Amino acid sequence: MTGNWIKQSKDAADQHEIKRPVLKNCIKAFLVGGFICFVGQVVTLILILFFPFTEQTASNPTVAIMVFFSMLLTGFGFYQKLGQFAGAGSAVPVTGFGNAVVSAAIEHRSEGLVLGVGGNIFKLAGSVIVFGVISAFFLALIKTILIQIGVI
């Protein structure tokens, strides 16, 4: 009998569930993500035009500047609202990474600098770094092997 009610309740809940508006979210994410990349492109151009950076070398400082921007936006409480609006659009660019780091740092400030901020700053972004390093390692391994064999 209880099992029956569980199933019926689940059906009732599913029936009333509000679905994520996937298409609308995609469009919003596209626009906002595009805008963030556009800002990044402007930063790159400024670096190329006014500083001694080439297209090759400008990418690293651009990333740093974009992370700095997202840091400010996070600190002023704006990024959270942007994130709710844009979803992946604001999470996927490097600014999302900056937001994940900074929000954790702000959050754990109350537990002190070493154990709070230091210990938790990569709480969310840590897995990005871990899996980034792991996948880079394996890709490098595959490439090395292929070169040794002589495929590439």
- Site residues for another protein per CB under 8 A: 5-6, 8-10, 12-21, 25, 42, 45, 48-49, 52-58, 60, 74-75, 77, 79-80, 82-84, 86-88, 90-91, 96, 99-100, 102-104, 106-108, 110, 123-124
Cβ(93)–Cβ(36) under 8 Å? yes
Measured CA distances, 104 to 67, 115, 123 (Å): 14, 12, 7
Q: How far is the CB of 22 from another protein (least distance, A)?
A: 11
What's the min distance (Å) between Cβ of 90 and another protein?
5
* Nearest CB to another protein, comparing residues 51 and 137: 51
CB 107 within 8 A of CB 75: no
51's torsion region: left (phi>0), alpha (psi -120 to 50) or beta?
beta
Residue with Cβ nearer another protein (21 or 132) = 21
In the complex with another protein, the residue whose CB is nearer, 66 or 100, is 100
Report how far residue 148's alpha carbon sits from residue 152's, in angstroms, rounded to the nearest whole number. Answer: 9
Residue 35: CB atoms within 10 Å: 14
Please say which residue, 66 or 83, places its beta carbon nearer to another protein: 83
CB of 138 to another protein, least distance (A): 23
User: Shortest Cβ distance from residue 137 to another protein (Å)?
Assistant: 20
Please, what is the minimum distance in Å from the beta carbon of residue 24 to another protein?
Answer: 11
In angstroms, what CA-CA distances link 10 with 16, 51, 134?
10, 60, 40
